[in-house]
Amino acid sequence: MQLYPVNIVGESYYQQAINGCSAGERVFICHEQDNPYDVHALRVETGRGDVIGYIPKTNWLRDAIHEQGCGATATILSIMGEPGQDLGVVLTVLLTDDDIPTRNFGEVVTRAVSVQMVAEKKQGLFRRLFR
């Protein structure tokens, strides 16, 4: 099992989301196939659905995903920066055989809200069953 460090770009636009992240946190690499700036864009988002940046256009990982059909799992290796400066993020990536999920450009995925909704539905079901 080979883990690879990968820097991301665009972090200056996502500082609020990065401030809520920590080293070791799992993140997701998603293909934004309708991105108007780059049809091969690979965005990086947290489990909460917050975007924290993108895989650089010239990074080998893009070729592995788009040309070789690899999937990838990733965690945050480190968050770098000083207080008052923009934070940067380095990932640890493992290549897999899984498919890369797709997202629409600008789509905000709120997994935390989805999880909460599922929990609320289960609570409602239990209340009805055990009245």
Banded pLDDT at 106 (limits 50, 70, 90): confident
Task: Please report, as a single letter, which amino acid is at residue 49.
Answer: G
Q: What is the pTM of this model?
A: 0.79
Q: Return the sign of the alpha-carbon dihedral for residues 116, 117, 120, 125.
A: negative
| 16-20, 28-32, 111-115, range with the lowest pLDDT | 111-115
Strands 26-32 and 41-46: antiparallel
If DSSP codes are grouped into helix, strand and coil, which group holds residue 121? helix
pLDDT at 114: 44
CA distance 61 to 44: 12
Is residue 80 very low, low, confident or very high in pLDDT (cuts 50, 70, 90)?
Answer: very high
57 or 82: which leads in pLDDT: 57
User: pLDDT-based confidence at 64, cuts 50/70/90?
Assistant: very high
**Residue 17 pLDDT > 90, yes or no?**
yes
Average pLDDT, the chain: 85
- Is residue 50 over pLDDT 50? yes
pLDDT at 86 over 90: yes
Q: Which residues make Cβ contacts (< 8 Å) with residue 74, sequence separation at least 6?
A: 6, 26, 27, 28, 29, 44, 91, 92, 93, 94
CA distances from 126 to 79, 114, 129 (A): 42, 18, 5
Report the distance separating Cα 10 and Cα 83, nearest Å. Answer: 18
